Amino acid sequence: MNRMITTVAITLLIAVSHAQDKNINIEKSGKMETITALTNKEKAVALITSLETGDKSTISYINPTNYKQHNLAVADGLEGFGEVLHHAPKGGFKANVIRSYQDGDYTFTHTEYDFFGPKIGFDIFKFENGRIVEHWDNFSDLATTNPSGRTQSDGVTKASDMDKTEQNKALVKDFINTILIKGEFDKMHNYFDGDKYIQHNAMIGDGVSGLGKALEELAKQGITMVFEKNHIILGEGNFVLSVSEGTFAGKPTSFYDLFRIENDKIAEHWDTIETILPEAERKNTNGKFNF
């Protein structure tokens, strides 16, 4: 463990901790200037981006004494974060945040990474008093375009319909429970506008029919995808993220699904599917979920 990295991180945090969560008055040339504090969503984006830029000041957004890690391959606390930085490849990591949203104390981001290989990932951060106290994520390998020519990250990025956040979250929660967990596929029409469905999963084409074809192909290969439990639904406006667990091809799996809602129907979908690390290989005991 490189203790120096952790020491520097904590020192940076202490040095700027009093200036993070409120407006800061700074005297400059005899005048007082006000610097507006970043939102939690902006802090999350800055922290992820710093993996590429090397901006050490963003460490200050993490609580130095209370940081719980749910990436099972990373140790708990700032020491675990420092260990990841210590093992960065030559040239560093790459991180391009495509989407970022906020729901209460939680933020969630959708990012293209070169993080021990090209990946697409979702990160969830929980904030308390303006600092990150908990982190979850889910990754899939970055792939080429899907059967409809779409990538895992393109498409609409800006949230709208802010007044419908709770309504849209309820729609997605009902879809996950009714269709994906209970398998009541005869009710699909309740969630989609006909066959209109923009798909960014690397293996599936557009349309509700495209999803059906993909599931049929998996079944022919003896591969099952089972959703067993939904853990949390987060949303901002017309973008809603669902975190679920189950199995894929018989292996314990974490499913992160991001949906865009349009006219009260599911219109677009992005996802990551990650095999859950066996207990013997985990570096923390916090669990993959535990929201």
pLDDT tens-digit map of 115-133: 889 999 999 999 999 999 9
Among the listed ranges 14-23, 99-108, 247-256, 280-289, which one has the minimum average pLDDT value? 14-23
Same domain for 137 and 168? no
For residue 29, tell me if it sits in a domain.
Answer: no
Report the alpha-carbon distance of residue 27 to residue 23 in Å, rounded.
13
For residue 284, tell me if it sits in a domain.
Answer: no
Same domain for 197 and 136? no
Alpha-carbon Rg of the chain, whole angstroms?
20
Average pLDDT over residues 76-97: 88
For residue 180, tell me if it sits in a domain.
Answer: yes
Same domain for 170 and 265? yes
Q: Which residues form the domain of 120?
A: 3-23+35-142
pLDDT tens digits, one per residue of 248-258: 999 999 999 99
Among the listed ranges 17-21, 120-124, 205-209, 271-275, which one has the minimum average pLDDT value? 17-21
pLDDT tens digits, one per residue of 224-237: 999 999 999 999 99
For residue 201, tell me if it sits in a domain.
Answer: yes
- Tell me how many domains the chain contains: 2
For residue 148, tell me if it sits in a domain.
Answer: no
Report the predicted TM-score, pTM, of the whole model to 2 decimal places.
0.88
For residue 288, tell me if it sits in a domain.
Answer: no
**Both structure tokens of 229:** 């439990």
Of 107, 142, 177, the domain-final residue: 142
Same domain for 126 and 237? no
